Amino acid sequence: HHIAHSREERHPLAKAPVTAPPNTVDGFVKQFLDNLNFGQGVALSASGVNDQYLALARTVRDYLMARWLETVRRQLVSQAKGVCYLSAEYLLGRQLGNSLLATGLEDVAAEALAECGIDIADLRAQEVEPGLGNGGLGRLAACFIDSLATMSVPSIGYGIRYEYGIFRQTFEDGQQVEKPDRWLSMGSPWEFPHPEAAQTISFGGRTEQYDDDGVTRTRWIPDWDVLAIPYNYMVPGYLNGRVNTLRLWSAQATKAFDLRIFNAGDYAEAVRAQTFAENISKVLYPEDSTPQGKELRLQQQYFFAAASIADFLDVVLPPDYDLTKLPDRAIFQLNDTHPVIAVPELMRQLVDVRGLEWEQAWEITQGCFAYTCHTLLPEALEVWSVDLLGRLLPRHLEIIYRINEEFLAAVRERYGDDELRVRNMSIIGEHPERSVRMAHLATVASVKVNGVAELHSQLLREKVLHDFHEFYPGKFTNVTNGITPRRFLRLANKSLSELITDALGPGWVTDLDRLRELETYAEDPEFRERFAEVKASNKRRLNRVLLERDGLEVDDTHMLDVMVKRLHEYKRQMLKLLHIVTLYDGIVSGRVPISEVTPRTFIFGAKAAPGYRIAKDIIHLINKVGSVVNADPAVEGRLKVLFPPNYNVTLAERIIPAADLSEQISLAGKEASGTGNMKFALNGALTIGTDDGANVEIRQLVGDDHFFLFGMTEPEVEELAAKGYVPSDFYRADPNLRSAIDLIASGAFSGGDRSVFEPVISNLLYNDRFMVLADYAAYIAAQERVDAAYADADTWTRSAILNVARCGFFSSDRSMRDYIDRIWHTPPSF
């Protein structure tokens, strides 16, 4: 601090505060041309669109930079309690539009570029989105850091800078083929690497005890290490002059590492070893909700957790900080179990590195962590084999064992020798192999544990973590997920935003409850007409996007019925498909006159984990049904099935504002929350959905008349499972269902080849873990209610407006307030 200070004394310019370029069209043009000429090294006349995009991005960045430096400075001075959000995924979406919005530069930039003869829309289209996440969990992290910046909460996001994000999906003959996501190949203008602030992260080796002035201590003697290089990303608050930090770690081989081998004369081996180390941040694991237990994944988790803890202790905290006060200075929020290895890592830092007593260190650690659980599926609860963990992180395994020993002693003290309970609660599981249950470790170490929707939190307390809830009453809480209204309404749906702002003024963007005031406008025929025109224009825009992107045609006179989310059996894309096949079957069999079929365009968007066989078969089937239905003249173009490949945040921003109907049809009790459901409702789509996740809260808020509920409730699901679910009974009992399944099985969608979709069909008839057939009849009936409601366009529009008006609760700003009140206790700073 002292050296830095004297450096600033030397020149008057160095003393002046950093200021942004002038907020005018001329100022913007000047900055843009400077960035193009001096940053990109090209003249305007010779520049290509990517040069121009990079120069534009750097220009917007220049406007953010002064605010970022100021935010960092103030945070350093105030030392207020802050949030460290630890997440293995951040599904950020494109940065340029959001940065322009946050700085209020949208119009200035567009005008400035127009004066240079450039259409800003062409440059915005250049940006490759950073897809550093799989789905809801990663997008949630991105929404949360947006809200934290907008609400001026001291906070920092920590994660991994994957060189390859979620794979790019292509279809070959209807089947998913994965391509690498080279998002960095054209350069990323949004990141700032800081190799001088690297952390060294160690792995492997052994531990030993040693005598430290009469005290026996443990040290870890690792046998290899890597460098973690921080890359800073700016997270701008919306029009509030604050810019927070997202710090993503990239792996680099350490010098010591390659030199050792290099000096032994084996150059090729030294290079191989370097590649090995740098593999750690190479690629995002593409499994959503089903961890794979791979060694590289554990390496990733420890790599970013340890780097983040070290960064916070060494760089963010002042030197000589009294660590016993850490719980008043920081809360580490664990986004699912992926960063939970940070718990034993903090213990190791406090006990082994900084010499604190175990008891004191444990007290601190238990005050610093909070854990968000995002699932209910048993197969999604992460475990690491003791064998693997002990090999990679021997000291951490010892620490986990001791935590468990003391925890189980407390359990035994409370319940006597109830060994069944002790076994169920243990952090170490014994079957099918000895393993560390990361959710148990997280629960034991955390101040609070939260689920992500009311129903989910209730099921956590009553089922998945029931014994823990009994043991730690008060530890469990709920924070219902949210979405940022900046990206998912203001940016994605500019025309609806303008309509809302015309009615209410601009304040709703940071105070989404104000949308309630739209309820009276729902009764105004003129407002309804304008609202309907917004929907229609969003459909036309989607039409243009899909035509250009994929050569697909949306009929903008159709009802737009959308199901976009990861492909997973529990989400039940098969149920949606059975509805489509039933409609088609009705037409071709002559049972339903074509004039009675409501014209609908169905849009699917979904990636399947590359190793998830049945999910890939379902993608194949959707595409094949689409080819047949779309081409059959008997359908007269009244049904269209579109499946644009590579659904991502950018495409979501186009699809969601155009949708009429939102499909949220998971089996009750399986979808922890869902956040797509919120995005659709907030953009004026009506939901057809089960009583699951946050659907429950959406329906309560918008009202039963404006939501199409169907299907079994969670207790009904349990009841059916308990009495023994036999899917083929439903097949036999329902002629429509039988006919639809038989049509698929007959090879009608696979050129007569009955073998292609046999696995999908037998999975439905003889397994059907997520009870698609049991909910089929209710779903079809609900879709008939949808058709009837849609026939009255004006009433439908009124319901759509009421959905918008009543969904302010789902702002991620509200989620942040809940985390602050119930868990973090971090007041806003400035």
Instruction: Give catalytic residue positions.
Output: 374, 565-566, 571, 675, 679
Interaction between residue 693 and ligand B1N (CB under 6 A): yes
As measured in angstroms, the least distance from the Cβ of 145 to ligand B1N is: 14
Looking at the Cβ atoms of 311 and 692, the one nearer to ligand B1N is: 692
Pick one of 232, 299, 673, 811: the residue that binds ligand B1N (CB under 6 A): 673
Query: In angstroms, rounded to a whole number, what is the distance separating the alpha carbons of residues 83 and 371?
Result: 13
Binding mask 94-133 for ligand B1N (x = CB under 6 A): ----------------------------------------
Query: In angstroms, rounded to a whole number, what is the distance separating the alpha carbons of residues 93 and 823?
Result: 28
What's phi and psi for 383, nearest 5 deg? -135, 150
Looking at the Cβ atoms of 280 and 452, the one nearer to ligand B1N is: 452
Task: Give how many residues touch ligand B1N by CB under 6 A.
Answer: 21
Looking at the Cβ atoms of 96 and 575, the one nearer to ligand B1N is: 575
Is the separation of the CB atoms in 203 and 175 below 8 Å?
no
As measured in angstroms, the least distance from the Cβ of 560 to ligand B1N is: 23
Binding span for ligand B1N by CB under 6 A among 186-194, 281-289, 622-630, 746-754? 281-289
Looking at the Cβ atoms of 274 and 289, the one nearer to ligand B1N is: 289
DSSP structure string for 596-632: GSPPEEEEEE----TT-HHHHHHHHHHHHHHHHHHH-
- Among positive and negative, which fits the CA dihedral 401, 404, 406, 408? negative
**Both tokens of residue 375?**
């699932």
H or E element at residue 435: strand 435-437
SS3 664: strand
Query: In angstroms, rounded to a whole number, what is the distance separating the alpha carbons of residues 312 and 319?
Result: 11
- Please, which residues have CB within 8 angstroms of residue 272's CB and are 6 or more apart in sequence? none
Amino acid identity of residue 143, one-letter, is: C
Looking at the Cβ atoms of 277 and 380, the one nearer to ligand B1N is: 380
Query: In angstroms, rounded to a whole number, what is the distance separating the alpha carbons of residues 681 and 810?
Result: 10
Binding mask 323-362 for ligand B1N (x = CB under 6 A): -------------x--------------------------
As measured in angstroms, the least distance from the Cβ of 812 to ligand B1N is: 11
Work out the burial of residue 794: count CB atoms within 10 Å of its CB; fewer than 13 is exposed, 13-18 middle, 19 or more buried.
Answer: exposed
Pick one of 106, 111, 178, 287: the residue that binds ligand B1N (CB under 6 A): 287
**Residue tagged 């043009």 (tokens):** 29
Pick one of 59, 274, 435, 481: the residue that binds ligand B1N (CB under 6 A): 481
With b meaning 16 or more CB within 10 Å and e meaning fewer, what string describes 390-421?
A: bebbbbbbbbbbebbeebbeebeeebeeeeeb
> Alpha-carbon dihedral of residues 791, 793, 798, 801, nearest 10 degrees?
110
Position of minimal CB gap to ligand B1N: 136
As measured in angstroms, the least distance from the Cβ of 666 to ligand B1N is: 8
Pick one of 237, 339, 644, 674: the residue that binds ligand B1N (CB under 6 A): 674
As measured in angstroms, the least distance from the Cβ of 566 to ligand B1N is: 8
Looking at the Cβ atoms of 140 and 764, the one nearer to ligand B1N is: 140
Is the separation of the CB atoms in 168 and 177 below 8 Å?
no
Interaction between residue 675 and ligand B1N (CB under 6 A): yes
Distances in whole angstroms, Cα of residue 521 to Cα of each of 140, 210, 283, 529, 685: 31, 74, 48, 11, 17
Pick one of 136, 154, 222, 684: the residue that binds ligand B1N (CB under 6 A): 136
Binding mask 357-396 for ligand B1N (x = CB under 6 A): -----------------xx----x----------------
**Both tokens of residue 615?**
């999910």
As measured in angstroms, the least distance from the Cβ of 691 to ligand B1N is: 14
Among the listed residues 190, 275, 137, the one whose alpha carbon sits nearest the alpha carbon of residue 673:
137
Pick one of 281, 289, 763, 783: the residue that binds ligand B1N (CB under 6 A): 289
Pick one of 137, 326, 575, 641: the residue that binds ligand B1N (CB under 6 A): 137
Interaction between residue 815 and ligand B1N (CB under 6 A): no
Binding mask 597-636 for ligand B1N (x = CB under 6 A): ----------------------------------------
Interaction between residue 477 and ligand B1N (CB under 6 A): no
Among the listed residues 787, 135, 110, 121, the one whose alpha carbon sits nearest the alpha carbon of residue 481:
135
Pick one of 36, 83, 123, 140: the residue that binds ligand B1N (CB under 6 A): 140
Among the listed residues 280, 278, 284, the one whose alpha carbon sits nearest the alpha carbon of residue 166:
284
Pick one of 132, 522, 672, 681: the residue that binds ligand B1N (CB under 6 A): 672
As measured in angstroms, the least distance from the Cβ of 773 to ligand B1N is: 23
Q: Within 444-463, which residues bind ligand B1N (CB under 6 A)?
A: 452
Looking at the Cβ atoms of 47 and 134, the one nearer to ligand B1N is: 134
Query: In angstroms, rounded to a whole number, what is the distance separating the alpha carbons of residues 90 and 92?
Result: 6
As measured in angstroms, the least distance from the Cβ of 567 to ligand B1N is: 13
Binding span for ligand B1N by CB under 6 A among 54-62, 666-674, 757-765, 771-779? 666-674
Is the separation of the CB atoms in 246 and 233 below 8 Å?
yes
Binding span for ligand B1N by CB under 6 A among 457-465, 628-636, 670-678, 757-765? 670-678
**Both tokens of residue 641?**
């099935």
- Please, which residues have CB within 8 angstroms of residue 742's CB and are 6 or more apart in sequence? none
Query: In angstroms, rounded to a whole number, what is the distance separating the alpha carbons of residues 405 and 442?
Result: 15
Report how far apart the first and last C-alpha atoms of the chain are (Å, whole number): 23
As measured in angstroms, the least distance from the Cβ of 692 to ligand B1N is: 9
What does the angle CA 39 – CA 42 – CA 45 come to, to the nearest 5 degrees?
A: 135
As measured in angstroms, the least distance from the Cβ of 776 to ligand B1N is: 23
As measured in angstroms, the least distance from the Cβ of 696 to ligand B1N is: 12
Distances in whole angstroms, Cα of residue 124 to Cα of each of 25, 101, 289, 550: 18, 13, 32, 18
Looking at the Cβ atoms of 96 and 137, the one nearer to ligand B1N is: 137
569: Cα separation from own chain's centroid: 19
List 220's β-bridge partners, or say none.
207
Looking at the Cβ atoms of 154 and 693, the one nearer to ligand B1N is: 693
Interaction between residue 662 and ligand B1N (CB under 6 A): no
As measured in angstroms, the least distance from the Cβ of 819 to ligand B1N is: 13
Looking at the Cβ atoms of 673 and 826, the one nearer to ligand B1N is: 673
Pick one of 127, 311, 671, 691: the residue that binds ligand B1N (CB under 6 A): 671
The bridge status of strand 708-709 relative to strand 686-689 is parallel
3-state helix, strand, coil in the chain (%, to 5): 55, 15, 30
**Both tokens of residue 353?**
């590195």
With b meaning 16 or more CB within 10 Å and e meaning fewer, what string describes 633-657?
A: eebeebbbbbbbbbbbbbbbbbbbb
As measured in angstroms, the least distance from the Cβ of 333 to ligand B1N is: 13
Pick one of 127, 191, 225, 288: the residue that binds ligand B1N (CB under 6 A): 288
The contact set with ligand B1N (CB under 6 A) reads 134, 136-137, 140, 285, 287-289, 291, 336, 374-375, 380, 452, 481, 671-675, 693
